[in-house]
């Protein structure tokens, strides 16, 4: 949880403790834009701003209602209201992003524009997206684990996100200069992984294959994709956050897509293999006769056990 998220939770908890729905508490009295945490009379979480400048007209989503009004004193009021408690964690991150976006602004108008931009970045995740399959959702979960547990700690946030090539159609999921990482996922009883082309296991530098065994269930232990995306994005700021959210959106991620919001994934095991070891079973670009390409094949897990390396 970020510092700004913690601040907003404190404000909402103050209102809950007072048992006074309809009350609003200003987030930061020193900010150029007067932003408030509130709880509506129906009990819904709210984040709102009051300004001399008119607010940007924004469309709500399936779980966020936006209302605009003007008070008798001429000030404008814009309220973002969560209508589905299932998305409280995501609404917290959205609200924290809208607050954070205004901190460097020198005028109220600039702060209003920055708040609107932050909202629009998140709003697309509540719009209909390309239908995901359980397999693609599991694959995204594995790539996100690699980003969170390996790439960010080793290379830093900016480079980790910039080097994530999977969502852009790269041959390998991550390329860090002379190091490549390919990520695969299998169900708990999986015995093979699919290699999509002769390019996927072809790379000149250091190259590892990470295979996650992942279980999924509706009500068992684990983490949803929505929870994982929200958790990772809360670490980022500015352009890094925007690029990360664009990447996951391009893979069909949507906060209220059932496979993202309700299915829980649990990492059971991670095995890492050195693809560059002599004898590693693969079909590479140089192995094919002229005129043959786009070769896909299955790689048996038992056949690559001798090439396992120490897990980090």
Residue-wise pLDDT tens digits, 124-178: 776 655 567 889 999 999 999 999 999 999 999 999 999 999 888 899 999 999 9
Give strand ranges (E) for the chain: 24-26, 34-39, 45-51, 64-70, 76-82, 174-176, 179-186, 192-195, 206-217, 264-274, 297-300, 308-309
Residue-wise pLDDT tens digits, 239-290: 898 899 889 887 878 877 778 888 999 999 999 999 999 999 999 998 989 8
Q: From CA 182, how far away is CA 24, in angstroms rounded?
A: 48
Q: From CA 43, how far away is CA 21, in angstroms rounded?
A: 7
Q: From CA 6, how far away is CA 33, in angstroms rounded?
A: 19
What average pLDDT does the chain have? 91
Q: How many CA atoms lie within 13 A of 267 on its CB side?
A: 18
Instruction: State how far the alpha carbon of 40 is from the alpha carbons of 64, 215, 228, 287, in Å.
Output: 13, 39, 28, 65
How much of the chain, in percent, has pLDDT values that exceed 70? 97
CB 74 within 8 A of CB 37: no
Is the pLDDT confidence value at 1 over 70? no
pLDDT-wise least confident of 18-22, 109-113, 268-272: 18-22
Mean pLDDT calculated for residue range 2-9? 89
Q: From CA 188, how far away is CA 181, in angstroms rounded?
A: 22
**What is the pLDDT at residue 129?**
55
List the one residue out of 46, 35, 41 whose CA is nearest residue 12.
46
Cα 73 → chain centroid: 41
Mean pLDDT calculated for residue range 82-103? 90
Q: From CA 258, how far away is CA 252, in angstroms rounded?
A: 12
List the one residue out of 63, 60, 2 whose CA is nearest residue 261.
63
* Report field, pTM of the whole predicted structure over 0.85: no
Residues of 28-43 as b/e, b for ≥16 C-beta within 10 angstroms?
beebbbbbbbbbbeee
Residue-wise pLDDT tens digits, 165-215: 988 889 999 999 999 999 999 998 899 999 999 999 999 999 999 999 999
CB 233 within 8 A of CB 244: yes
Is the pLDDT confidence value at 32 over 80? yes
**What is the pLDDT at residue 234?**
86
């Amino acid at each position: 949880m970020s510092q700004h998220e913690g601040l907003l939770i404190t404000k909402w908890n103050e209102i809950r403790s007072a048992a006074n729905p309809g009350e609003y508490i200003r987030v930061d009295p020193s900010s150029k834009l007067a932003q408030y945490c509130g709880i509506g009379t129906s009990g819904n979480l709210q984040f709102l701003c009051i300004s001399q400048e008119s607010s940007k007209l924004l469309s709500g989503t399936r779980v966020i209602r936006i209302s605009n009004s003007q008070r008798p004193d001429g000030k404008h009021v814009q309220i973002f209201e969560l209508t589905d408690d299932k998305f409280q964690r995501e609404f917290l991150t959205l609200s924290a992003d809208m607050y954070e976006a205004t901190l460097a602004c020198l005028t109220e108008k600039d702060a209003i524009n920055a708040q609107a931009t932050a909202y629009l970045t998140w709003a697309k995740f509540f719009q209909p997206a390309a239908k995901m399959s359980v397999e693609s959702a599991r694959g995204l979960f594995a790539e996100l684990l690699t980003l969170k547990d390996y790439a960010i700690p080793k290379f830093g946030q900016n480079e980790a996100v910039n080097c994530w090539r999977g969502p852009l159609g790269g041959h390998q999921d991550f390329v860090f200069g002379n190091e490549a990482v390919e990520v695969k996922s299998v169900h708990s009883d999986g015995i093979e992984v699919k290699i999509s082309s002769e390019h996927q296991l072809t790379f000149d530098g250091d190259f590892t294959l990470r295979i996650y065994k992942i279980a999924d269930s509706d009500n068992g232990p684990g983490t949803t994709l929505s929870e994982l995306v929200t958790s990772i994005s809360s670490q980022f700021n500015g352009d890094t956050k925007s690029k990360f959210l664009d990447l996951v959106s391009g893979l069909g991620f949507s906060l209220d897509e059932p496979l993202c919001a309700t299915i829980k994934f649990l990492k059971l095991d991670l095995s890492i293999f050195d693809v560059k070891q002599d004898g590693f079973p693969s079909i590479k670009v140089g192995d094919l006769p002229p005129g043959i390409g786009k070769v896909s094949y299955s790689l048996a897990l038992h056949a690559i056990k001798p090439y396992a390396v120490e897990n980090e």
